Amino acid sequence: MSAWDSSPEFERRLHELLERQTNAASGHVRSHLTRARHAALLQAGEHRGAWREVLAGRRLWVPAGVLAAVVAGVLLLVPHRAVRSPQSASATAVTAQDVRLLTDRDGLAMLEDGGGQFYEWAAAQAGGPAASGAAANGPSEHGG
């Protein structure tokens, strides 16, 4: 009966052989593993370093910058909407006026005749001071 029949002895012998085989790794393998280890440690260091810098406030400018951008965006959007509301009302008023003009018989006739003069006349009807000169010309030319 050999020593291999005894399980602990067999395991001890296997362990010994495996250890020997492992330690016989080539220089190439050892060098590759050493480089891999250093790369892993470097990465761990960078990962932890980044968090440390955030804690120390060195990288707080990043979240602060994001926060500032969000606040600026909100500030820009809110007044923009507030200013736009009257403009929208004014635009609606002009549209209603346009509808009135279009439903006017004379206006429709002028529209059918075509040409930009109708729009000048319409602007004068709306009471635009710049178009007062055109008001005098527009309807008279159309004979309306």
Partner 1 sequence: MPAALRGDVDRSASNSQTTQHALGRFLASVELKAFRIAHAALRHEQDALDAVQDAMLQLARAYADRPAEQWKPLFYRILENRIRDLQRRRSVRDRIMAWLPFAADDDETADPLAAAPSPELPALRRLEIDEAITALERAVGALPRRQQQVFLLRTLEGLDVEQTAHAMGCSQGSVKTHYFRALRALRAELSELI
Interface ranges with partner 1 (CB under 8 A): 2-5, 7, 10-11, 14-15, 17-30, 32-34, 36-37, 39-41, 43-45, 47-49, 52, 55-57
**Closer residue to partner 1 (CB): 4 or 61:** 4
Provide long-range contacts, Cβ within 8 A and 24+ apart, for 36-42: none
Minimum CB separation from partner 1 for residue 90, in Å?
A: 53
Residue 17 CB, shortest distance to partner 1, in Å, is 5
Question: Which tokens hold the place of 72?
Answer: 């600026």
Whichever of 3 and 69 has its CB closer to partner 1, that residue is 3
With beta carbons less than 8 A apart as the criterion, state whether 126 and 90 touch: no
Cβ distance to partner 1 smaller for residue 31 or 140: 31
H/E stretch holding 3 = none
Q: For 116, list phi and psi in degrees, rounded to 5.
A: -75, -10
